[in-house]
Structure 1
Amino acid sequence: MTVVGFIGLGIMGRPMAVNLVKAGFDVIGYSRRPESAGDLVAAGGRAAGSIAEVAAAAEVVVLMVPDSPDVEQVVLGADGLLAHARAGQLLIDMSTVTPQTETAVAKAAAAKGVRTLDAPVSGGEKGAIDGTLSIMVGGAAEDFATARPVFEAVGKTIEHVGPTGAGQIVKAANQLLVGGIIELVSEALLLVEASGVDPDAAVRVLAGGLAGNRVLDLKAANMLARQFQPGFRIDLHHKDLGIVLAAARDAGLSLPVTAVVAQLFVAARAQGLGSLDHSGLLKVVEGLSSTR
């Protein structure tokens, strides 16, 4: 069995690591909170006490951590992965971070003989649990081919989209769309509620027509119930929209609707909503009309 190290056992990483075990990989996982490894161990995986232990054991190491500074610390830190790496190892960063972070990691890893892929995912907690994530991969084609069995254990739509950093650019486009759709779904739900229309019936009709989308399918019921238990937190989507706007600036693009949506996420955090699911953006939109 290929030994896969998995660093970051949070909302997304925990079920992904479990699915790797179910697919037959020998998985050794590490989290800053040791209790986060419970599900992995129960599924038949192993818990590591340090990043060094993961690096020593694994042929492939997967990262699923919150932000660019976390990736930099885990990979480039004084006691990080590259300090303990072996030539020939494959590092797959499935976090959502800046393309520049991936370029820096790839350069430092290459000096150690370590191969890298950036492979951010979309699909949220449900996709991670079900093993149906969409995975957008940047890096060398031969490394993508090597990693494909790992990707197939956690995802359904798997695409090699270009060189190092390309995966993060596609993920930025994904987050642009998801954030904008959440905003528009929020406006649509508020409109039907304020007009006295049966919102459940309205959602069924909308989901069956050209307006149908995954946000309606997966989140509308909880949005109508004002239940925002996090599958993907507002704080993280705020971070991702910052990546989008920086990438747009680097490309010389104006993305006006994205900029407005990004400001609504800023407002959500300012109102103390950062720990809610990103569908909690509904609370900010309804607050603009004082409907509740």
Structure 2
Amino acid sequence: MLTTENTVIGFIGTGVMGKSMAGHLMEAGYPLVIHTRTKEKAEELLANGAQWAESPKEIAEKANVVFTIIGTPADVEEVYLGGDGLVQNGRENTYLIDMTTSTPTLAEKIYNEAKKKGMHALDAPVSGGDIGAREARLAIMVGGDQEAFDQVKPILELLGKNIILQGNAGAGQHTKMSNQIAIATNMIGVTEAIIYAEKAGLDPEKVLKTISTGAAGSWSLSNLTPRVIKGDFAPGFSIKHFIKDMGIGLEEAEKMDLDMPGLALAYSLYKRLADAGESESGTQALYKYWGLENK
């Protein structure tokens, strides 16, 4: 059984979500070793007692449970399977938990390579954005072995409330694609609804108060639309990362010979926003698309 006495947690990626997640693990009493591309982003955690590691290799040498939430599938492959990566340098019976939204194929590859070394790999992407990370109520979608899942579930429960083993390696990533597909088209509806309300001369706050409690209600409507109304487009989850996720979804759908017109439309709208300089904005900045159309 993994306890605060026999577990050292490594955490790679302390960005918008990772910083809060790592903080919850420290608050629970786990020794924490962290690494991130930009050390400045880890300063608060380091000041609170986390130990700095110069590389994934150093994380692998010190920790027996490692979380990652980083950028792209290429980043994930390098951190896990590169020469200075976690699998190459980790110890037997280490638990590797990738919370990045990546590809199911890569998740399976990491699982297989880790298994050769007696390590346990889980793909465990999350949903809930900066709010869910900060409040420790993320949805966590897991792929991998039941035994490994059972071992780390008490730790995952420090980060989220809805934690489900979806199936074998890669199943967590496939579930996350379903999640992103649902969000992609929902974001179009959410932003169009507010644009329509404004054009009709309505008070968008009053409209939101009404429609968020009815059949139109959704997480995006309740959590992101208030930001739109306030003109707050800071990223809880950035457009550039959402585009990456939607691209993975479209690629996976093509492999399954599946047409996804809604996802393709959302991808095209967000791509245009990114091209207009909004790649670092939050996904709620889709609202600005209508401003582009009017130029």
Q: Under a length normalisation based on structure 1, what TM-score does the superposition of the two structures give?
A: 0.96
Q: State the distance in 1 between where 2:83 and 2:24 align.
A: 31
In the TM superposition, residue 22 of structure 1 has moved relative to its aligned partner by 1.1
Matches within 5 A, 1:255-270: 255-270=260-275
The one-character-per-residue Cα deviations of 1:139-166 (angstroms, maximum 9, x if unpaired) are: 0011100110121011111000000000
Task: State the identity as a percent.
Answer: 37
The one-character-per-residue Cα deviations of 1:182-238 (angstroms, maximum 9, x if unpaired) are: 111110000010110111111100111111111121111221232201111000000
Please state whether the residue corresponding to 1:173 is helix, strand or coil.
helix
Q: State the distance in 1 between where 2:158 and 2:46 align.
A: 17
Deviates more, 1:147-156 or 1:78-87: 78-87
The one-character-per-residue Cα deviations of 1:239-277 (angstroms, maximum 9, x if unpaired) are: 000111111112221111111111111111111110100
Deviates more, 1:45-54 or 1:225-234: 45-54
2:220 matched residue in structure 1: 215
CA contact (8 A) 1:72 1:101 kept: yes
Q: State the distance in 2 between where 1:29 and 1:87 align.
A: 20
CA contact (8 A) 1:7 1:65 kept: yes
CA contact (8 A) 1:5 1:62 kept: yes
Please state whether the residue corresponding to 1:91 is helix, strand or coil.
strand
1:26 pairs with one of 14, 18, 31: 31
Aligned residue type for 2:44: D
* Residue 40, structure 1, aligned to residue 75, structure 2: no
Aligned residue type for 2:271: V
* Residue 53, structure 1, aligned to residue 58, structure 2: yes
2:206 pairs with one of 201, 204, 207: 201
1:155 matched residue in structure 2: 160
Q: Under a length normalisation based on structure 2, what TM-score does the superposition of the two structures give?
A: 0.95
In the TM superposition, residue 178 of structure 1 has moved relative to its aligned partner by 1.3
User: Which runs of 5 or more structure 2 residues have no equivalent in the other structure?
Assistant: none
1:80 matched residue in structure 2: 85
Aligned residue type for 1:185: V
Q: State the distance in 2 between where 1:98 and 1:249 align.
A: 13
Runs of 4+ in 1 over 4 A off after TM superposition: none
CA contact (8 A) 2:55 2:84 kept: no
Aligned length: 290
1:250 pairs with one of 252, 255, 260: 255
Q: State the distance in 1 between where 2:85 and 2:189 align.
A: 42
